[in-house]
Chain A
């Protein structure tokens, strides 16, 4: 079945760039029905949507993070990458990648949907 695995440095210094990779197995990120997303969760807090990407390049961002986020889909490696620049302690969180399963109606593929499945997540701590 589809599996997602996040990886990257667990510790990043303030003002530097956080870089993470999500490796997808058991399915292709080039599938036409799905977007792929990143969501984060600060320790002891709730979930925050960061960004979604379609393999062909359409990208959508949380407006509050847009200026600092870069996302890329590498179809040759079946991987997604996330970069978050100018990090502060507030960016300390578990970062998850997930497949966005979009809704389908008689009018075609809809922008809304649900995240399923999720990777196990990776904790990134921002500290000097």
Chain B
């Protein structure tokens, strides 16, 4: 199974929005309701911010939203804040009890 494809970087000014894509195949992203997103600050463990494509865990701001179209999932961060500067990873169930992660995107707040 190959890693899901994400852009290496994305950026925006405070208050703006940024959208990160996560492209897979019909065997993973396109065929699964179990796409999740993780935020990782430097030196820290990943933190779940979106699960089942578009659901937010308790405590995650509604500035974070997820969606999916075909084989591509997307994470949008609206109203960017300085603390949103981090690496973001998508993940998908890939069938046969396997999981695959994305290549990761570094978000910079300008």
CB contact between B97 and one of A39, A64, A111 (< 8 Å): that residue: A111
Contact with A along B40-63 (1 / 0, CB 8 A): 000011111001100001000000
Residue of B nearest to A111 (CB): B97
Residues on B with beta carbons closer than 8 Å to the beta carbon of A115: 36, 38, 46, 48, 91
Q: Tell me if B46 and A47 are in contact (CB < 8 A).
A: yes
Q: Tell me if B48 and A116 are in contact (CB < 8 A).
A: yes
Query: Which of A60, A103, A110, A114 counts the most B-chain CB atoms under 10 A from its CB?
Result: A114
Q: Tell me if B48 and A114 are in contact (CB < 8 A).
A: yes
Q: Tell me if A52 and B45 are in contact (CB < 8 A).
A: no
**Size bracket of the A interface:** 20 to 34
Residue of B nearest to A100 (CB): B99
CB contact between A49 and one of B32, B44, B52, B99 (< 8 Å): that residue: B99
Q: Tell me if B99 and A52 are in contact (CB < 8 A).
A: yes
Number of chain B residues whose Cβ lies closer than 8 Å to a Cβ of chain A: 27
Q: Tell me if B32 and A48 are in contact (CB < 8 A).
A: no
Q: Give, as a whole number of angstroms, the nearest-CB distance from A76 to chain B.
A: 26
Q: Tell me if B45 and A63 are in contact (CB < 8 A).
A: no
Residues on A with beta carbons closer than 8 Å to the beta carbon of B69: none
Report B's interface with A, CB cutoff 8 A: 1, 3, 32-34, 36, 38, 44-48, 51-52, 57, 89, 91, 93, 96-104
> 13 more A-B contacts (CB under 8 A) besides A103-B33, A116-B57?
A39-B101, A45-B104, A47-B91, A47-B101, A48-B3, A60-B98, A111-B97, A114-B36, A114-B91, A115-B46, A116-B51, A117-B47, A117-B48
Report A's interface with B, CB cutoff 8 A: 37, 39, 45-49, 52, 60, 62-64, 96, 101, 103, 110-121
**What are 16 of the A-B contact pairs (CB < 8 Å)?**
A37-B99, A46-B101, A46-B102, A60-B97, A60-B98, A62-B98, A63-B98, A103-B33, A111-B93, A112-B93, A113-B34, A113-B51, A115-B91, A117-B47, A117-B48, A120-B45
